[in-house]
Structure 1
Amino acid sequence: MAGPYADEDFPADPYPGTVPPTSYVHADGVGYALVRGRVQDEPLDGWLAARGAAPTTGRLPVLAYGSNRNPSKISWLRATLGLGAEPVVVLRVRTRGLAAVWAYGLRTRDGARPAVLAAVPGVEEDHVVWLATPEQVAVLDACEGAGPGGDGRYRLARLHTGEIRTRDVGSGPTRVDGVLAYLGGTPARRPLLVDGAMVRCADVPQEAARALTGVPAVGDGVVATTLPPRTR
């Protein structure tokens, strides 16, 4: 399946939703496959320019390891939090030394157990990186409780732990530096410890994760520099 990826083919529920098999650019409720730097046979920056969108230069790399990878969630951000019509560039990446693990607290909205990022030496996982405009990052801040007046569930930080490389954008895997990510900011969003161990999202599905019991970890092990909230 190489796109286009309609939102209805990638439902957001159950959390964290399903993810297209390639990098993609999301616009107008559709994900257009991005493979080896090209979208619909155009170079990515040319495709963006033809739509009056910001180029990749100046966009910020933001690791998405939960529902923000999902096309339907992106449309929800547009409709609910004012993400706007600007295309969202979503790159498939392989992380090393970082993992999505289940958080201690459940989501108020639907009772799902959300993901949080943790340092897990030697582990490799597949996630995505948004190449986000500053305005898009401000919307993500609002969504994750990191914006002005938010509840602080997550905090935006620049990662110093782990390694992140693209999977299908250029001629080969390319390291992405200066990546931002939302880390747990309250006890409810610290990693869940079950019998003293964190639980990777890749190992336990959402249905089973909801029923887990344990205690919040003291920390996530991630070395990062917290950034100030962005004003929308």
Structure 2
Amino acid sequence: MGGEYADARFPADPYPGSVPPTSYVHVDRTGFALVGGLVQGEPLDDWLAARGAAPTSARMAVLSYGSNRNPSKISWLREFLGLDAEPIVVLRVRTSGLAAVWAHGLRTRDGARPAVLAAVPGVVEEHAVWLATPEQVAVLDVCEGASPDGDGRYRLARLNTGEVRTDDGTLLRDVHAYVGNTPARRPLLVDGAMVRCADVPQEVARTLVGEARTPREWRWSR
């Protein structure tokens, strides 16, 4: 695939949506490939500075294991939740000891079963990390119900288990993620086992029946 990822090529439905094959930066309904630290031939921080955007050093690493890594979802955040026009930096990463699993409850908006993060020793998956400005994190808080006036579906926590590495093997430290914070957003247990999103597609996941994993079985730092 080429170096530009128009939203139309990466629909958000079915949840969690499709994802570009490289890291990318997103502006104006288009992602631009970020490969080898370069965007359109420029180092990432130079590319950001030329657009008046915050450098990577001023951004928080937020693991995205569901729909927030989808370009069309990013445009939805801009249109409906007031996400600013500043570029979004989305790094493709590989996680170990962590897994996206299906949550116990369904989304009220469309009946889809959302993902939630779980600690799973020995599991390796591919996800993404937003390098997000404080303003962008505030919008994610609203989207995930983690803002002060939200419903608390998820909360933003610092990961204290597993590893997150970029495509070139760089270990990312001080990574945060939105983790389940209510019974509806605890991992779904079917016959006592969590169900990885990588193993079961959305059309099957929304039909699953099980129970919510109890809070004492999973912990993240605040």
Instruction: Work out whether the TM-score is over 0.5.
Output: yes
The amino acid across from 2:108 in the alignment is T
C-alpha separation between the residues in 2 aligned to 1:181 and 1:199? Answer: 19
The amino acid across from 1:40 in the alignment is Q
Residue of structure 2 in register with 1:70 after alignment: 70
C-alpha contact (below 8 Å) 1:118/1:221 kept by paired residues: no
Q: Of 150, 153, 177, which residue of structure 2 is paired with 1:181?
A: 177
Task: Write the mapping of 1:134-213 to structure 2, written as runs, cut at 5 A.
Answer: 134-167=134-167, 172-213=168-209
C-alpha separation between the residues in 1 aligned to 2:3 and 2:36? Answer: 14
C-alpha contact (below 8 Å) 1:61/1:178 kept by paired residues: yes
TM superposition score normalised by structure 1? 0.94
Residue of structure 2 in register with 1:5 after alignment: 5
C-alpha separation between the residues in 1 aligned to 2:183 and 2:104? Answer: 7
- Helix, strand or coil at the partner of 1:119: strand
Instruction: Tell me how far 1:84 sits from its aligned partner.
Output: 1.0
The amino acid across from 1:112 in the alignment is A
Superposed CA offset, 1:130-157 (max 9, x none): 0000000000000000001100000000
Superposed CA offset, 1:102-142 (max 9, x none): 00000000000000000100000000000000000000000
Unpaired runs of at least 5, structure 1:
227-232
Q: Does 1:216 align with 2:216?
A: no
Instruction: Tell me how far 1:225 sits from its aligned partner.
Output: 1.8
Unpaired runs of at least 5, structure 2:
none
Superposed CA offset, 1:46-77 (max 9, x none): 00011111110110000000000100000000
Q: Structure 1 residue runs of 4+, over 6 Å off?
A: none
TM superposition score normalised by structure 2? 0.98
The amino acid across from 1:188 in the alignment is A
Identity of counterpart residues, as a percentage? 74
